[in-house]
Structure 1
Amino acid sequence: MSGTKYEAVTAVLALLDLLAGEGSANRFEAVVEEARRQGVTGGDLRTVERIKRLALGIQARLERRQQRSASLATLVDTASDLASPHTVEDTLKIITRRARLLLGVDVSWVTLPAADDGALRLHSLDGHVTMLNTRLRLPEGTGLAAAVLAHRAPLWTSDYLTDDSFRHSAELDQWIGAEGLHAVLAVPLSRGTAFAGSLHVADRSVRHFSADEIALANMLAEIGGVALSRAVYLDETLAAMSALRDQLSRAEADLADARGLAKAQGALLSLVLDGCDPQLLVEEFHVRLGAPVLLCGPDGTTIAAAGDLSERGEEFARATKATGVLLDPAPALLQDGIWSVPVLAGSHHLGALYVQAGPALTGDTADLLRYVARVVAVLLSLQEGRGAAVEEQLRDELLEDLLISGPRPRDLLERRARRLGIGLDQPHVVVIARLEGGAQAHAVTRASTCARRLNGLQTTHNGDIVLLLPGTDPGTAARTVHDELSSLPGSPPTVSGSGPVSDPGAVLHGYRDAARCLDAMTALGATGTSASTHQLGFLGLLLSDQVDAERFIQGTIGAVLDYDEQRLTELMRTLDAYFDNGGSPTYAAEQLHVHPNTVARRLERIGELIGSDWQKPERALEIQLALRMSRIRRVLRERDEPGGDTAGDQDA
């Protein structure tokens, strides 16, 4: 074998040794140069160079296979890592970290849709060196991410900022420039059949991405999408479990509060049933609540207190009234952490409960406050009921004593009345109600309630219901009692009234007047109505136990008398002449020596003063009687005081 052949074979063997030993590319070139120095030329040298190229090609393929194997191993490790339970945030961090290491790039991140407006947001960046990415949002339809989601396929650019094939976002371009990024690859990140976002990798140099890199990124995105679906489901499950635990905790707390409230309610109700007084009840509430408690009447008077609020009842009552929530059963905040809750029995305001419980009430405290107010209302109602029964008996006895004839100590009657809150020296009217049928018991109860409401007295006397009510108008009082009793079953009552009376001894006379009026109404067939002795006119005057002519005259023609006295007119003379001449204005004018038109004007003025129906027979009879009584009274007065003013001859 010639020397050059031997050197060529030696070179080939050296190349094979380098291939087997995975030598570097420059060592392959050194073997060819050594063969050339040894004199290998021509076809032998070309053979050595060809074998060098084949060896380098084989070595490159082996390196790619090794790299692919390493990448696949990394993908398997990534899949194994993502198979473990992770939160969404941790899953995204694993995906971006493995993407950067797998592809050997500088930066990686994920973009996901924002929850509100269709924009995209950057998540879980890895490898970044600036903070411009904080809460970075991409408007809808901008950036490489929007193009990837629109095409549902991987996209890449060798130089992001100079690529005009997609819409740019100023915020993202600013961040890309600050990071010094150029080459960017984006692949869809899917969740099942839906595309949730995109996975991005980027280099700080201008370069192209190989098919192997794109395929690796795509496979990682598919694995990451599955893991992301699991993480989302896990987060939702954990959130649901946490919500269930919170609900369970609240339910257990509510149950404990309900049991505590039920226990407190039972204890407070037991105290009421055992006959405790308000002070003991308030002290028990004070112990259970651990706060000062004050119970006041409707006017702010202290009923019971436990703590340091006992001197502020009237202040709290004014504040409660100012809030306008006097009858609202819900606790109301007044001032300085003071809460007010009214004590109500139906619509009857019995007082208020005040508690210094701080600026806010818990639900169980508010419930306990409302319940205690109801328990206090029960207690006060029971006490009021017992007191009311005694007071009712005293009221009946007092009115019975006022209706008994014979001398009675005036001062004793007045003292008894004052203890019941009644002033017998003030004007009162007497009302009698007579019922037909079987509603007497219900009527007595209703009449008693009416008398109590009006601060009067009520009793049953000679089978009739008798009331003594404050006031000066017996007709109105009789009508009020009639309306109260008319709603009962059966025929409406017949009700009469008399008075007013302002002396304990005059009550009996008022009763007799009302009784005569009631008998007269029955005799006249006016049963089922109401009237007073004054409303019966001259008949009432005749029935009265004490004749009051002055009142009858004033009630009938008093307005005419006052008009003549104030204006020096002759309306009374005109009335006398009118009735003396059978109701003829012409003859009355002749008697008065005036023109008939003057009489007509005066009669018109009289109608304005005493009513347009004054010429009706019933009214005319009363007016004539009042005129005669007034004339007689004037004659008697002139006899005692001779001489008087003479009225002028003026037209009305």
Structure 2
Amino acid sequence: MDEASNRHFRAPEDTEILNATTESSRDLASVRDRTLILKGILRRTRTLLDADMAYLSLNDLPSGETYIHVTDNVQTEAYRNIRMPLGTGVLGAVAAGGSTASTLDYLADPNMNHIPTIDQVVAAEGVKAIAGAPLRVGGRIVGALLVAHRTPASLPPAGERALEHMAAQAAIALEQTRRGSEITQLRALIGSTTTSNEGRTRELQAMLALDERLMGSMVASVNAEGVVAVLEEATGRPLGLFDPTGRHRFGSVTLTKSAFENWGVQSAINTSLHGAGAATGRHKGEVYTVVAVAAGKEHLATLVMNGTAGKEIALLERGSVFVSAALLFERTLVDANNRAQSTLMEDLLASRTEDQAQAVRARFVTFGLELRNDTAVLVILVDPPVRHSALATVQQRLRRGPMLVSTHIGHICVVTTSSGEALAREMDQILHQEGIRAVIGHATSTSGSISGIREAHDEASEVVTAAKELGWRRGFAELNDLGIAGIMLSHDSASTAARIVERSLGPVRDYDRAHRTELLGTLWSYLESGSSLQRTSSQLHIHQNTVRQRLERIDSLLGAQWRTPSRRIDVHFALRLWKLAPPTSKQGAVQGL
């Protein structure tokens, strides 16, 4: 197929996603007919993505199928009545697998799990491209939201974000519909059967009342903090919201960050994340109930409540849907507010002609940046789940004059006329205080040109790459800090460094491990001090004879030829690789040198 002839699902602007989400939230708070709400969500989803059709399915777990429940602009009755086995096609895969999926041309896609009878229905409808996002309620996947084109089309990242936003809104509406139907059915039974139905009705009515409070908090100001506050009050238990790394965000501090590294807590979170709803975990003898908050395939946050949940389980699972919608809204709001900076950052690092450079230079002035000065560029690498939190932290807490701050191709980028080293140190401390581990590379352009800033960005990126290859999980550096070893690793891999260390220093390292000695550290100090026994002994606070004895032991392990000029360079380089590696990767050699 000619790729150039393919159309694309539309990539909506962040403001459009925000508007569609806000309109859906208002409907949820004011419109009683849930079918109208679902149709409104489908219509807005179609508009956002410029799709030919949209539809929503519900899972029927006893039959192992998901069936289309509501549609918008589907032409054939057969398509409207599709029942898809879970795990098949795009619809069944999304409804079962819990992650967003898409296909350029469904019938021609060999990677799809096809069913001949369904393929006939798809062909009759004229559908080519399909994309879908799962509907989650309390960690459980209850269905899917899909859009389709009648011509081949691909799904851009902005389209995927929009689909996940609208799926979160649809999940709320679906659960409200289900509860309303159950209340109606139970009311019909009251009086003719047992009084247990009355209790269940009261529970459902209380749940709908909670829905109204949660919806009200979102309409008033769509933020996760307000939703968590309402949910904590409703459960009557300490309840906290934590990001995927365990950093506390809102509510009560029910667990410490270190507790999230505990196997029992992680196991409970993973259980909830993979579709089991609320799960119970233990830490230091205490019991906790957790509900993973997710959107598509992404783990957004975790709700943690003290104790074992009974009737609170339904409240937690219900509330998690609202938390997911609020977190997505907050993220998109941040993205919209950052759009001017991110666009300028992209243009800055992509500009190649003089005309482009001059245009970027003029826009720089609006952020108070003058390119006549030295310009520092910092590349900040954090784990993807906390990238938005890290960006917000950097923007809110840095107070070092004019700067440009934005996400850029998997990392956070900062351009400033302040000192790069001082800023990197401050950012490292700030992020660490927030429980975020970051590797930061910095470089400075002195040319006062756009191309110079681009080169500084490339250099800072190389520093981060090298540091990650060396096993760093936190810290900051410039290229000079890593030296030749850093330059090599920015273009190579950690396995190469490990082989160099093994071949040049393996026997000494093994001896240190076996005897708890400090031969590698002594050798490092000796070569760094210009092979001076006096300076080495002074630096290590040991006698010169002790240094001499250790060097003789190294002679016996490596052979005396390591002292020759050519071999000495190899050994010194291997030592630098060893020294740059984090302590945990040195595996047993005594540190503190």
Q: TM-score, normalised by structure 1?
A: 0.27
| Higher RCO, 1 vs 2 (CA within 8 Å, ≥6 residues apart) | 2
Higher Cα radius of gyration = 1
